[in-house]
């Protein structure tokens, strides 16, 4: 099923979607973990991006298995690719939890930073960050860790895939 599209392997097409969306979700998760203003404005978009990337990972792995039948075993790349879902799911869940916790806070209906008068000092905004619920801060820290770990894993999968696909050609042309 996840083999060819118009005679071309589906795997590179789906992988490129994952390689774009998942790092964007990681960057977005970092942003919404550290900024309540960004969380309110872009939180749902970040969660949607993470959900789409997470949904595409099984398609990428299935299409990779179909491609493996044509080109051979990619070695470490297949193993790392199979692990990626276990990084993306916590990223998605923690991002969704951040948005949900933020939206159920009593002060979540407070005006945006753009609507707040310019007289608010840095000390006031720093103290308001300390007033956030403990659960929101804890989920934020976990979301940061998940975003960083997912970013590293995306790099590892992509690097091993590039080496599996291009390593022999680049090494032979360098000699």
Instruction: Categorize the per-residue pLDDT at 152 as very low, low, confident or very high, splitting at 50, 70 and 90.
Output: very high
What is the spatial distance between Cα 174 and Cα 172, in angstroms, rounded to a whole number? 5
pLDDT > 90 in the chain, percent? 55
Can you give the pTM of this predicted structure?
A: 0.78
Cβ–Cβ < 8 Å for 38, 31: yes
* Interval 84-107 mean pLDDT: 92
Cα separation values, 161 from 27, 30, 62, Å = 22, 26, 15
Residue 40 or 73, more confident: 40
Going from N- to C-terminal start, the domains of the chain cover 4-109+134-166
Q: Are 53 and 22 in contact (CB under 8 A)?
A: yes
* Kind and range of the H or E run holding 8: strand 8-9
Residues 46 and 87: their CA atoms lie apart, in Å, by 16
Nearest 5°: CA angle at 54, between 50 and 58?
165
- Taking a C-beta distance cutoff of 8 angstroms, is the pair 38, 113 a contact? no
- Of 77, 56, 76, give the one whose Cα is nearest residue 10: 56
CA 30 to each of CA 87, 141, 145, 151: distance values in angstroms, whole numbers, following the listed order: 15, 9, 9, 11
Q: What is the pLDDT of residues 13-55, one digit of tens each?
A: 899 999 999 999 999 999 999 999 999 999 999 999 999 999 9
Is it the case that residue 9 has pLDDT exceeding 60?
yes
Tens of pLDDT, residue by residue over 105-123, are 765 454 444 444 344 445 4
Mean model confidence pLDDT for the chain: 83
């Amino acid at each position: 099923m996840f083999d060819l599209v118009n005679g071309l392997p589906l795997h590179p097409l789906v992988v490129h979607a994952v390689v774009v969306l998942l790092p964007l979700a990681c960057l977005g998760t970092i942003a919404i973990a550290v900024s309540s203003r960004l969380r309110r404005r872009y939180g749902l978009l970040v969660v949607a991006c993470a959900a789409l990337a997470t949904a595409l990972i099984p398609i990428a792995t299935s299409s990779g298995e179909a491609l493996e039948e044509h080109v051979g075993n990619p070695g470490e790349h297949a193993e790392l690719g199979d692990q990626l879902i276990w990084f993306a799911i916590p990223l998605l869940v923690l991002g969704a939890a951040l948005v949900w916790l933020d939206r159920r806070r009593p002060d979540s209906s407070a005006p945006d930073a753009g609507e707040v008068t310019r007289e608010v000092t840095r000390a006031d905004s720093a103290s308001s960050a300390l007033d956030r619920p403990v659960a929101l801060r804890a989920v934020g820290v976990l979301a940061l860790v998940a975003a960083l770990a997912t970013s590293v894993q995306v790099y590892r999968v992509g690097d091993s895939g590039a080496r599996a696909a291009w390593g022999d050609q680049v090494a032979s042309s360098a000699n």
